[in-house]
Amino acid sequence: MKYLKETQTEFIDKILGMIILEKGLSQNTIISYKKDIILVFNWFKKNNIDFLKASELNIIEFFSFLQSKNYKSNSLSRKLSSLKQFYEILKEEKYINNNPLNNLESFKKVKNLPKSLSEEDLILLLRKAQDNYKIVEDKNITEKMKKIRIYTILEILYSTGMRISELITLPLSDFIKIDDLLQIKGKGGVYRYVAFNKEAKNSIKLWLACRSSMEMFINNKFMFPSNNGSGHISRQYINKDLTELSKSLNINDMEISPHKIRHSFATHLINRGADLRSLQKLLGHADISTTEIYTKVQSKRLAGLVNDVHPLNKIDIKN
């Protein structure tokens, strides 16, 4: 067994130098490694633990301490990886006999569940958007156009679950004939079909009639032109319209965005029995694992359902 002849800082630098030679790490990774190692060494020192004699239990206690400080799982996993490699070099260089981190696995990354609107809130939004264009006088052409446009966009987003980047670049030529299905170009240039419900198709017809009456849109190739008729509408403008719509309903505490509507589309379909493979195709996910997040949303809802309506929850059973 070897013994330390250097200061702690010198020793860390020496071991890191070996790791750098072996792994060919970038400068940023080296800085992160050093921070991780110094963090654990300082914790060991504070708790009177000799890092060369640290046990698996000591390492577990260290990570429990980090968790109590609300470190995220990806940060914990990186620190665990740094320490594993550091202690592996210590073992190879015969400073220790066993790596105390051998049995410890990476921390699972916690995927945030997508936030969605309830079916009731989305119906309220759609009705409000519909009412808004109906109350605008026909002579106020520009204002009427804007109200019909956001109503149509909202209907399409909720009917199809398409990404906002896909919607704003839709070509007008795709709507020469309005069918139940439309083939669109998604992420990575991959084509897929999306489906229009009856209300979405009606709103599209309404928008096309309005669009054709706007002289500045005549030579524009996009389904949804920008206000000045040059190019397509921006996602920022759509976000602004949706925010105004939600505020008029006093649900501005919930951020309304095209992305949240897409999540709502997926969540509502899953809750109503749609299968994952079909949902994957509709959303344009390359990997089924991306779609599987919605099953966790459903599980959370089902757990809440049991807590809310299970008959035993209303009965006080005394042991």
Domain end residue (candidates: 205, 234, 254): 254
* pLDDT, tens only, 112-133: 666 788 899 999 999 999 999 9
Domain-located, residue 195: yes
Residues 77 and 132 in one domain: no
Q: Which of 78, 163, 232, 268 is catalytic?
A: 163
Among the listed residues 253, 257, 263, 277, the one whose alpha carbon sits nearest the alpha carbon of residue 111: 263
301 inside domain? no
Q: Is residue 183 part of a domain?
A: yes
Q: Is 248 part of any domain?
A: yes
pLDDT of residue 261: 95
Q: What pLDDT was estimated at residue 8?
A: 74
**Residues 169 and 73 both lie in one domain:** no
Q: What is the dihedral of CA 274, 276, 279, 280, to 10 degrees?
A: -170
CATH of the domain at 83: 1.10.150.130
Asked if 285 is an active-site residue, the reply is: yes
The answer to the question of residue 228 being in a domain is yes
Q: 305 pLDDT band (50/70/90 cuts)?
A: very low
Q: What is the pLDDT of residues 227-249, one digit of tens each?
A: 888 899 999 999 999 999 888 88
Assess whether 61 and 145 both reside in one domain.
no
Which stretch of 243-247, 262-266, 287-291 has the lowest confidence by average pLDDT? 287-291
Domain shared by 135 and 240, yes or no: yes
Please indicate, yes or no, if residue 126 is contained in any of the structural domains: yes
- For residues 196 and 204, is the Cβ–Cβ distance under 8 A? yes
In this structure, the answer to whether residues 171 and 217 fall within a common structural domain is: yes
Task: Answer yes or no: do 124 and 88 share one domain.
Answer: no
Reported confidence tier of residue 71, pLDDT bands at 50, 70, 90: confident
Amino acid 30: pLDDT? 80
Q: Which of 215, 237, 254 finishes a domain?
A: 254
- Give the tens place of pLDDT for each residue, 248-259: 887 655 678 999
79 and 129: one domain? no
| Residue tagged active-site, from 79, 232, 262, 268 | 262
Is 310 an annotated catalytic residue? Answer: no
Instruction: Find the catalytic residue in 14, 72, 187, 277.
Output: 187
pLDDT greater than 90 at residue 90: no
Segment 57-66, tens digit of pLDDT: 999 999 989 9
* pTM greater than 0.85 (yes/no): no
pLDDT of 266 strictly over 80 = yes
- Assign residue 190 a region (left: φ > 0; alpha: ψ between -120 and 50; beta: otherwise): beta
Answer with the one of 254, 277, 303 that is the final residue of a domain.
254
Strand partners, 53: none
Could you confirm whether 262 is annotated as catalytic?
yes
How does pLDDT run across 48-58, given as a tens digit for each residue? 999 888 899 99
Annotated active-site residue 192? The verdict is no
Q: Which long-range contacts (CB under 8 A, 24 or more apart) does 67-74 make?
A: 72/110, 73/107, 73/108, 73/109, 73/110, 74/107, 74/109
Task: Say whether 69 is catalytic.
Answer: no
Which among 223, 226, 244, 248 has a CA at the least distance from the CA of 235? 226
In a domain, 137, yes or no: yes
Query: Same structural domain for residues 84 and 146?
Result: no
Q: Can you give the pLDDT at residue 197? A: 93
Annotated catalytic residue, options 33, 87, 158, 294:
294
Range of the domain at 71: 8-92
Tell me the pLDDT tens digit for each residue of 214-230: 999 999 999 999 988 88
Between the alpha carbon of residue 89 and those of residues 53, 77, 191, the distances in Å are 15, 19, 49
Looking up residue 183, the CATH number of its domain turns out to be 1.10.443.10
